[in-house]
Amino acid sequence: MATVAEDVIAAVGTAPGEAGIAVIRVSGPGCVQVVEQIFRGRQSLKDAPSHRMVYGAVVDPDTAEVLDEVLVVRMQAPRSYTGEDVVEIHTHGGSAVVGRVLNAVVRAGARPAEPGEFTKRAFLNGRLDLSQAEAVIDLIRSKTDAARRLALEQLKGGLSARVKQMREILLDVMAQIEVTIDYPEHDVEDVTIEQIREAVDQVREQIDELLASSRVGRLVREGVRTAIVGRPNVGKSSLLNALAGRERAIVTAIPGTTRDVVDEWIHVRGVAFQILDTAGIRTTEDEVERIGVERSLKWVEEADLVLCVLDGSSPWEKEDLELLERIKDRPFLLVVNKIDLPQRLTCDGRLEELPQHRIVRVSARTGDGVQELADRMARVVLGGEGVSASSCMVTNVRHMALLKEAREDLDAAERAVSEGWTVDVAAVDLRAAWEHLGDILGERAGEELLNRIFSQFCLGK
């Protein structure tokens, strides 16, 4: 297990560039003494009440030159972000000012912090578990309201509480197994086997629920790759422009205008969609267009959602039918475009054979039906429920892998009791499941894992 460093670290906690205010964060035992060397105010910083702003100036430690007028706040351990003594210096936001003040702090005895080192110290000091620490970077990177809500729920301990509850169930049954092993004369093994089965079922059900949420959780966190596909001139680029609300793709009446993938991000019900306008799918002798068609077909297989566009003003073409066959096992919506023109697509009844909730009729030219399409896209991804402030979803690949390992351990424990092995054999698998769940919280996290996780953070966090 990694240990907390005892030195003082410092970094700018606000974004670079010009701003009204910048914040320099200093943390570690002795950070108050470090800042005292460069702070001049009416009140000594060490005598100031914790969590109260003090006005003064920061001076150069060598020349006593005033670098900036500042507000400084001392946060006494453990009531701080890192769980250590922390001092925050609020300066004016110009880069020259911030650079000089940070340099003065370092010369007074602090060292520049590594990326994510403040959050790493918060974890090592027990302020956050590892899943909560990982939620910090998700919150910083969140681009939509749904992603923000999921990250905040995890930061508040929503996932941690679920994991701790599962570990408690396993710990109780493991304790009962110890009693059975230590006092065999009590003859309670049959009761213990039943308790093992009940515990396995309870925890496995919760794991399955969390794993089932991981698809939606990942899409909310990373965005939904949505491929617009169809034969040439069905209005794919016009649909991209209509969804984006601006002229993002070139639109002409010439077949094969789009030869490479054009993408645009849109937000629907708090979820980010990366809309990919692909080349029209058809047989072509043009080498460049052929490569574009190959990429289109590749996106049919890789996209999280496929929007298959048909021209409602023309009858079915061979390419339409071939594309329908390709997407039938994918998450898709069938978009009948050009509803502002006389319709010829429904003549042979093929549309009626398809699930009606998968069909959306729009006019990319007039905008009719485009909002309904966007809402339908969100419903396909979210399952119609949305992401609430209390939603607990798994969004992290590391968490998913550990949940799967814990589930395999539980399956092994169940097999052990079903095949007549003694309860101490099942106990080995139950403990493995308990430990894998604990790894989500960082119970056994080593320096290598922590460095890999916290290196993704920005400086100052």
Has 16 been labeled as part of a binding site?
A: no
Report the SS3 class of residue 97.
Answer: helix
Has 314 been labeled as part of a binding site?
A: no
Has 364 been labeled as part of a binding site?
A: yes
φ, ψ of residue 276 in degrees (nearest 5): -115, 110
User: What gap in Å lies between CA 423 and CA 413, rounded to an integer?
Assistant: 9
Has 277 been labeled as part of a binding site?
A: yes
Has 238 been labeled as part of a binding site?
A: yes
User: What gap in Å lies between CA 91 and CA 14, rounded to an integer?
Assistant: 11
b/e map 131-159, b = 16+ CB within 10 Å: bbbbbbbbbeebebebbbbbbebbbebbb
Has 428 been labeled as part of a binding site?
A: no
Has 126 been labeled as part of a binding site?
A: no
CA 214, distance to chain mean position in Å, is: 10
Has 94 been labeled as part of a binding site?
A: no
Has 460 been labeled as part of a binding site?
A: no
Has 254 been labeled as part of a binding site?
A: yes
Q: Can you give the three-state secondary structure of 225-272, one letter per residue?
A: EEEEECCCCCCHHHHHHHHHCCCCCCCCCCCCCCCCCEEEEEEECCEE
Has 395 been labeled as part of a binding site?
A: no
User: What gap in Å lies between CA 417 and CA 424, rounded to an integer?
Assistant: 10
User: What gap in Å lies between CA 27 and CA 4, rounded to an integer?
Assistant: 12
Has 233 been labeled as part of a binding site?
A: yes
Residue partners of 148: CB distance under 8 A and separation at least 6: 139, 142
Has 236 been labeled as part of a binding site?
A: yes
305 has which bridge partners? 226
Has 279 been labeled as part of a binding site?
A: yes
Has 280 been labeled as part of a binding site?
A: yes
Has 253 been labeled as part of a binding site?
A: yes
Has 237 been labeled as part of a binding site?
A: yes
Has 88 been labeled as part of a binding site?
A: yes
What residue numbers does the annotated binding site cover?
Answer: 25, 88, 127, 233-238, 252-258, 277-280, 363-365, 461
What residue numbers does the annotated binding site for GTP cover?
Answer: 233-238, 252-258, 277-280, 363-365
What residue numbers does the annotated binding site for (6S)-5-formyl-5,6,7,8-tetrahydrofolate cover?
Answer: 25, 88, 127, 461
What residue numbers does the annotated binding site for K(+) cover?
Answer: 233, 252, 254, 257
What residue numbers does the annotated binding site for Mg(2+) cover?
Answer: 237, 258
